[in-house]
Copies of this chain bind each other. A is one copy, B any other.
Amino acid sequence: MPVNLAAPDPASLLSVPGVELGIASAGIKKSGRKDVLVMQLAHDSEVVGVFTQNRFCAAPVTVCKEHLHGEDGIRALVVNTGNANAGTGEDGLRRARETCAAVAENLNIKPQQVLPFSTGVILEPLPHDKIIAALPAAFADLKAANWAAAAEAIMTTDVVAKAASRKVAMNGQDFALTGIAKGSGMIHPNMATMLSFVATDAPVSCEALEAILRYAVNKSFNCITVDGDTSTNDSCILIATGATEAPVIMDDGDPRFPTLRDVVTEVMIQLAQAIVRDGEGATKFMAIRVEGGRDEAECKQIAYAVAKSPLVKTAFFASDPNLGRILAAVGYAGVADLDVDKIKLWLGGVMVAENGGRSPSYQEAEGQRVMAAPEIEVRLHLGRGDAVATVWTCDFSYDYVKINAEYRT
């Protein structure tokens, strides 16, 4: 059961001028659910992306990078679920390229103007003929008001569709910003088994859009973990169609730049947290906040050690304030000169540990009370600097095992 997460109300998702979305069922998923999404973008849209750092990156990721580096502007995205086209070698690249070519032919653009995305089972040949056969239905469905249906079409083990939308007011002009994401297991930076597509109609230069994307991803998708497994297919795409007329935001000197950057970050944090709230088998949502580090990197390193620990995650599942497991994870996080006597640990507002041991004021009943809630903050202070980082994660339940043991059956 997702933790405090409901499916998006379609009416709350703003259409983004310059983006139309069409969905279809290609029959890749046995369930017959929608499994293909096509996004068509206005001429002159700027598109930037960040991708998995897994060495076994999937064929569509390789093709995306090629096409983004090309001279021709991106005009379409094609996404399938049910099959990741990963660990598929040269043949996988060919199938991804043929899919792009089929989209291009339909839209009268070049294959290099199409970005392909796949998510699902690894190491199985992509049934790209099925995707190609479903394209006419997807094109017939193209419309601006299709974001909620698109969010549903890209789900795999997700229980709830994930979307977020904001109106961005800049210089007295209103723009739309809407994004969707999928992901539930194999979630860990950099990035995770996740796809996310976020678009605005504001006009933004490629350089400025790139800067906004990196900033926002670092504060959102690169701050979550479900199981520590990073996937072969992770992709996050930011689109600026420029379909609404306004002077182009060229760089961070433009006063509209921080406004747009912060709203993009807000939307991406909402999507990233939604992935954790819908983490496979999740019953609790936890924020691990590490303060007082020398730099952000060591704070994140410790936060991730805690967030990834199966022992910590099962204790949270059981609502058991077995807080020693948190300290043990801090201890093995790999920060060599950490002075454990200076560490303070709070669970919610309750101080649990200080001076290398349990806090004299701590009452187990209070820890229990905090643990019983569906949302829990774990706060650590390292006592060696001013840096801070937060990582979001979920607990580890029977259902995580069940979902992943039965994934292909």
Contact = CB atoms under 8 A, between A and B. Distances in A.
Nearest to A226: B310
Contacts of A406: 318
B89 A328 contact: no
Interface in A364-409: 396-398, 400-402, 404-409
A54 interface: yes
Contacts of A104: none
Contacts of A340: 55-56
A331 B396 CA distance: 24
A327 interface: yes
Contacts of A324: 84, 86-87, 121-124, 232
A61 B407 CA distance: 43
Contacts of A270: none
A357 interface: yes
A231 B322 CA distance: 14
A interface: dominant SS? loop
Given A87-B324, A353-B87, A396-B401, A56 B122 contact: no
Interface string A108-129: 0000000000000111110000
A266 interface: no
Contacts of A402: 398
How many of these chains are in the complex? Answer: 2
A338 B55 contact: yes
Interface of A: 53-57, 84, 86-92, 121-125, 185-186, 188, 227-232, 308-311, 314-315, 317-318, 320, 322-325, 327-333, 335-336, 338, 340-341, 353, 355-358, 396-398, 400-402, 404-409
A338 B398 CA distance: 35
B357 A89 contact: yes
Contacts of A53: 332
Contact of A311 (B84, B325, B404): B404
Contacts of A90: 355-357
A196 to B, nearest CB: 19
Contact of A320 (B338, B356, B358, B408): B408
A327 B401 contact: no
Given A314-B404, A315-B404, A318-B406, 7 more contacts: A86-B327, A90-B357, A123-B324, A188-B332, A229-B311, A232-B324, A315-B407
Contact of A328 (B231, B317, B333): B231
B314 A405 contact: yes
Contacts of A336: 55
A332 to B, nearest CB: 4
A191 to B, nearest CB: 11
A53 B315 CA distance: 23
A54 B332 contact: yes
Contacts of A55: 330-333, 335-336, 338, 340
A323 B88 CA distance: 12
Nearest to A123: B324
Nearest to A333: B55
Nearest to A53: B332
B122 A232 contact: no
Contacts of A408: 320, 322
Contact of A186 (B86, B328, B335): B328
A129 to B, nearest CB: 18
23 contacts: A54-B328, A54-B332, A55-B330, A55-B331, A55-B336, A56-B327, A86-B324, A87-B358, A88-B356, A90-B357, A121-B324, A122-B324, A123-B353, A123-B357, A124-B324, A185-B311, A229-B325, A229-B332, A310-B400, A318-B404, A320-B409, A322-B408, A397-B401
